């Protein structure tokens, strides 16, 4: 088993975006290895309190070890960040001063051959579960889903141009042999894509992304999550969200826009009569992206986009 290792993405930008101060209650919905959480606790000392969640047992163990110097100021729950309201009830809190969500897969999960997230590790099992006790795996998806459902997943979650061809070839392959490894799946994907389109970014990336999203239900309820979590901020509190593909970013952007401009009155009305008032001020009109310096030492920050909103 690999030692848990993960470089947090845009740590300075995230901390600045949260507008940290001494004290307060802060939420890190995806604690990972504890990199962002460490900075939150350090910069809100001596009285800041952190509530964090994650589904990965290895991540929770690593974060607990990393944060031990702040013992008594943080609590980590094994939970989906989408269930934050249950976690808040357990922690005895109502409103928070700031929230951070990082939707990226950790470096450890990608590099660990037992987890099956990477198309670069040929013999990795098709797992892809962030919560290793969950039922659904990538192997189950590719071997039991219909061709139509596979096409939909690849097209919608992976924005894969050749979704239909890949799905068809998966179904053909599994008719004779159960798909077991990342290498088998990667080969099917490569053979489904015309040679002239295999250059540039790895051609397997989109399909693997789509399967990971399906296995972990990453987009389910995401829009509602952003709305409801933002509404748990105190006045002046901020929410910072890191996304890693266009589907996530689009959902966060639309949720922030709805919170900032909720009026439903027709455009020709001279004044608002619906009574819906802005709930946030969007701090990032355009998403923040990683600097060239960060890209040089953390290539996985390349696709990251950071959006921030403030409760008013």
To the question of domain 11-103+219-311 being in CATH 2.30.30.180, the answer is no
What is the pLDDT confidence band of residue 259, given thresholds at 50, 70 and 90? very high
> What is the per-residue pLDDT for 271?
77
Rounded CA separation 59/216 (Å): 16
Residue 1 has pLDDT above 50, yes or no: no
Residue 109 has pLDDT above 70, yes or no: no
Least confident of 95-109, 138-152, 176-190: 95-109
Residue 242, token pair as written in the block: 């890191």
Averaged pLDDT score across all residues of the chain: 90
Output the pTM of the full model. 0.86
Q: How far is CA 76 from CA 66, 126, 241, in A?
A: 12, 28, 19
Per-residue pLDDT averaged across 159-177, rounded? 96
Rounded CA separation 216/210 (Å): 10
Q: What is the per-residue pLDDT across 60-85, written as a single tens digit (0 to 9) for each?
A: 999 999 999 999 999 999 999 999 99
Least confident of 140-154, 174-188, 198-212, 243-257: 198-212
Q: Does this chain's domain 11-103+219-311 share its CATH topology with 118-216? A: no
Q: Which residues of 135-155 are buried (b: 16+ CB within 10 A; e: fewer)?
A: eebbbebbbebeeeebbbbbb
Rounded CA separation 288/9 (Å): 11
Residue 309, token pair as written in the block: 């909103």
Which helix (H) or strand (E) segment holds residue 92: the answer is none
> What is the per-residue pLDDT for 263?
79
Sorted by where each begins, the domain ranges of the chain are 11-103+219-311, 118-216
Partners of residue 50 on adjacent β-strands = 26, 74
Which helix (H) or strand (E) segment holds residue 284: the answer is none
Please give the share of the chain, as a percent, with pLDDT higher than 90.
75
Under CATH, which number does the domain 118-216 receive?
Answer: 1.10.150.170
Rounded CA separation 75/253 (Å): 29
What is the pLDDT confidence band of residue 102, given thresholds at 50, 70 and 90? very high
**Cβ(216)–Cβ(242) under 8 Å?**
no
Q: What is the per-residue pLDDT across 198-254, written as a single tens digit (0 to 9) for each?
A: 765 568 889 999 999 999 999 999 999 999 999 999 999 999 999 998 999 999 999
> What is the per-residue pLDDT for 2?
47
> What is the per-residue pLDDT for 265?
77
> What is the per-residue pLDDT for 118?
67
> What is the per-residue pLDDT for 270?
76
Which helix (H) or strand (E) segment holds residue 239: the answer is strand 233-243
Q: What is the per-residue pLDDT across 44-62, written as a single tens digit (0 to 9) for each?
A: 999 999 999 999 898 999 9
Rounded CA separation 261/94 (Å): 25
Q: Which residues contact 131 (CB under 8 A, 6 or more apart)?
A: 55, 56, 80, 216
């Amino acid at each position: 088993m690999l030692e848990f290792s993960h470089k947090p993405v845009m740590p300075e930008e995230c901390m600045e975006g949260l507008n940290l101060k001494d004290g307060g209650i802060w939420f890190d919905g995806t604690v990972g290895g504890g990199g962002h959480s460490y900075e939150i606790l350090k910069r809100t000392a001596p009285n800041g309190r952190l509530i964090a969640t994650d589904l990965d047992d290895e991540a929770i163990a690593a974060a607990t070890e990393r944060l031990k110097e702040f013992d008594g100021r943080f609590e980590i729950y094994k939970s989906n960040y989408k269930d934050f309201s249950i976690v808040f009830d357990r922690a005895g809190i109502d409103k928070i001063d700031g929230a951070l969500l990082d939707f990226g897969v950790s470096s450890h999960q990608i590099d660990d051959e037992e987890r099956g997230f990477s198309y670069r590790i040929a013999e990795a099992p098709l797992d892809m579960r962030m919560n290793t006790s969950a039922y659904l795996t990538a192997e189950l998806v590719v071997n039991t889903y219909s061709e139509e459902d596979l096409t939909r997943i690849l097209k919608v979650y992976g924005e894969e141009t050749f979704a239909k061809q890949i799905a068809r070839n998966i179904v053909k392959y599994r008719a004779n042999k159960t798909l077991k490894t990342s290498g088998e799946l990667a080969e099917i994907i490569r053979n489904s894509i015309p040679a002239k389109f295999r250059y540039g970014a790895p051609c397997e990336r989109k399909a693997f992304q789509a399967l990971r999203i399906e296995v972990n239900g990453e987009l389910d309820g995401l829009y509602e999550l952003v709305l409801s979590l933002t509404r748990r901020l105190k006045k002046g509190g901020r929410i910072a969200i890191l996304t890693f593909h266009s589907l996530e970013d689009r959902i966060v952007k639309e949720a922030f826009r709805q919170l900032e401009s909720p009026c439903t009155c027709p455009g020709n009305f001279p004044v608002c009569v619906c009574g819906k008032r802005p709930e946030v001020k969007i701090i990032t009109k355009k998403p923040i992206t990683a600097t060239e310096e960060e890209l040089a030492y953390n290539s996985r920050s390349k696709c990251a986009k950071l959006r921030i909103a403030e409760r008013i």
